[in-house]
Chain A
C-alpha cells in the first residue's frame, strides 16, 4: 500500500539529513504508528509521502503510484492530515469541504453522505456554516480531518492527528481508524502519545535522528519480557539518558 525505499532528505540541500536512508513497507489492512522524539524526522517523512516536499533520493510509492512520477494518482489514493492548521480561514467550513470534494472528484451523493457523516461525528454541523477564522484549534483540526477523509481514500496519512482534539473526538477518530483498516485499508500516522500507539497500532516504526531504529509489532519490539512501549521508546531513542545528563 505504502512503500518507502531508501529515502533521504536534507532541508535546503544542507549537510544535515533530516531523513536518512529510510525504508518502510506498510501493508493493506494495517494501522502503522510512526513514533519518534521531537525533530526525529516524522513530519519530514510524511510531507514527502504527501508530495509536499521533494525527495532527495529514494522512492515512495502509494498504491502502486510513484509520488514523484505520478503525483496526481498517488495523491488521489491518500488522505493527508498535516501537522499545521494553516488553512483558508476566511472560508466557511462547508466551503472548504466542498472544495476538497471537487478536487478529489467526489460525486454529489457521495459528498453529501460523507460530509454529513463527519460533521455529525465531530459535532460540527453548526460550525460548518461559519468562517474557519472563528474556529478553535480543535475545530480546525476536525475540519481538516473531515476534509482528508471525505473522499474515502484507501490510505490515510496523519501527522499527529490527536493534537488539539478533545477526548471524545480523539476517541471517535480512533474508532474510524479501526473501521478503516477492517475494510482492508491502511492508516499511517505519527504520534508521540505512546498509549495511543500501544493500543491502536498493528505495527510500529520508531525513528530517531532521521534513521529508522526499530520496526515491528509491539511484541516484536519487546526484546525481553513485558516492557511497556514507553521504556522501549526511551531505551531506543536514548531520550532517558540524555535528559538526565
Chain B
C-alpha cells in the first residue's frame, strides 16, 4: 500500500478505535455493550438538540416562504455550520496537528511532512462531518421535500456538505501553522501557544465581523432592503455575507442547470484554491511547528523552591489550576468557555448588524419576547449555565492524573477532601466562565443590575450540581491509561458525557420553569421550585461524591 494511504488508514483506525472495536466485538462483549450503551446515551442526549434545531428550521422555512425565499434556510444552515467549524476548528486543528501524541513517532518515519499534514487534516475533516451534517441535513431535507427536489438535488447536497468544512479548516490550519512557527522560535512555548490560540480565535472573530458588517455604501437603508427583497436571491446573498460559501451552496441547491453547476463549481474551486497553497506551505513549515511542542525551556536561574504550607483542599485546588495552566491542551480545552462565552455575547457590541446571526437572533428575540423579568432572568441564567458547562476540566479531573494516580492514593489526605479540592477547581472554571459571559451580556444586552445579578447567581447555583455530575462521571470511570495529555482530555468520553449531563440539567430546569411560567406561577414559587431542585441535586451529588471517592480509591489502579 502507498505510504500515504497506509498512514491515513492507521490514523483513522487509531482515532476511531476500529481495531479496538473489532477486537472487543470478538473477545470482550462486555466492553462492546458498554460502548454501545454509551453511544445510545449520547445519541439520545444529542437528539434533543437535533429536534430543537429541526423545529427552528421548519419555522424559519415557513417564514422564508412568505418572503419568497424558502431556500434561505439552506443559507442559514450552511452559514451556521461553517462558522461553528471556523471558530472551533482552530482548537481542533491545533490539537490534531500540533499537540498530538504521535508527533514524535511520525517525525521519525520516512514520510514527507506534507503527507503527515494531509492525513491529519483529513482526520479532522472527518471529525467535522457530524457537525456539518447536523447543521445541513435538516434544512436540506426540509427544503428538498418542500420544493419536491429529485435525486440530483440530494447528490449535490451531499457534495456541498462534504465541501462545507474545508474552507474553515484550511483557514484554521494556516493560522495555526503560522502560530506554531512563531512558537518554535520562542522560549516560553506553552504560554505562547495558549495566548496565541486565543488571539487567533479573537482575530478570526473580528475578521468575520468585519466581513459581515460591511454594508454596501451610498445606498439608503430603504433602498438596500428593497434591493434585497426584489431579486430572487437577494435575501440569501444578504444573509450569506456572514459566510460566503453558504451563498454558493444555496444557489447550487436551489437553482437548476447551468446556474447550479456554476455555483457548485465556485465552491469546489474555492475549496481547492484555499487548500492547495496551504498544503504546499505545510511541506515547508509543518514539522518544525509540530516538534516545537516536544521541547520546553530549561532555565539556568534556579527558582527558589517554596515550602509554604496550605490546607489540603487548597493544595489540591491550586495543583489542579497549575497543571491546567502549564499544559496547553488542558488549558485550551478547559478554559475555552471563558473566552468563547464573553466573545459570543459581546458580539452585538462590535458589528452593529451582527445580531443577524440566526442563532443569536433567535436568542435575542426569545429574550425580548418574554416581558416578565423572571423569564428574562431564567433565560439568561440558562445561557450562562450552558457556557459554564463547556468545561472539560471538571469531567477529566481524575483522568488527567493518569498513571500518577497512585500519588493521590498514597498521600495522607482523605479521598473526600481531594474530591472537594478538585471539585472547587473545576467549579471555579465554570464560575469564571459564567461571570465573564454575564458581564459581556450585561453590556451588550443592557441588562439592569438586578437582572444581571439574579441571572448570574442563579447560574452559579445551577453550575454546582452540573460540576458535581461532571466529577462523578469522571471518578466513576476515569480514563487513566494514556500516554499523552491530549488523550486524557480530548479523547475522553467523560468530557462529552459531562457536558451532556450539564445540558440535560439545563433542559430539565428549562422544562420545569416553562411549565410554571405557563401556569402563571408567582416568582416566589418559580424561584423556590428551582432553588429546591438545585439544592436537592447538589446535596445528593455531594453525598454521592463523598461515598464514591472512598469506594473508588480502594479499587482504582493508576
Contact = CB atoms under 8 A, between A and B. Distances in A.
B20 A90 contact: yes
Nearest to A144: B105
Interface string A68-111: 00011101100010101111111110010011101111000000
A164 interface: no
Given A86-B105, A88-B102, A76 B110 contact: yes
Given A12-B187, A14-B298, A75-B110, A133 B104 contact: no
B540 interface: no
Interface string B13-55: 1100101100100000000000000000000000000000000
Interface centre among B3, B10, B105, B109, by most chain A C-beta atoms within 10 angstroms, is: B109
A51 B116 CA distance: 15
B3 A82 contact: no
A103 B19 contact: no
Interface in B258-309: 288, 291-292, 294-300
A131 interface: yes
Contacts of A11: 295-298
A99 B20 contact: no
B298 A12 contact: yes
Interface residues of B, number: 40
Given A13-B187, A16-B300, A103-B7, A52 B108 contact: yes
Contacts of A51: 107-108
Nearest to A101: B6
Contacts of A184: none
A1 B221 CA distance: 76
Interface residues of A, number: 41
A99 B108 contact: no
Nearest to A99: B10
Nearest to B107: A52
A103 B299 contact: no
Contact of A52 (B2, B13, B19, B104): B104
Contacts of A52: 104, 107-108, 291, 294
A240 B108 CA distance: 36
A152 interface: no
A15 B110 contact: no
A104 B3 CA distance: 8
Interface centre among B23, B102, B111, B112, by most chain A C-beta atoms within 10 angstroms, is: B23
B444 interface: no
Interface string A1-25: 0000000001111111010000000
18 contacts: A12-B292, A12-B295, A12-B298, A52-B104, A52-B107, A52-B108, A52-B291, A54-B288, A72-B112, A73-B110, A76-B110, A82-B108, A84-B483, A86-B105, A89-B481, A90-B14, A99-B10, A105-B3
Interface of A: 10-16, 18, 47, 50-54, 71-73, 75-76, 80, 82, 84-92, 95, 98-100, 102-105, 130-131, 133
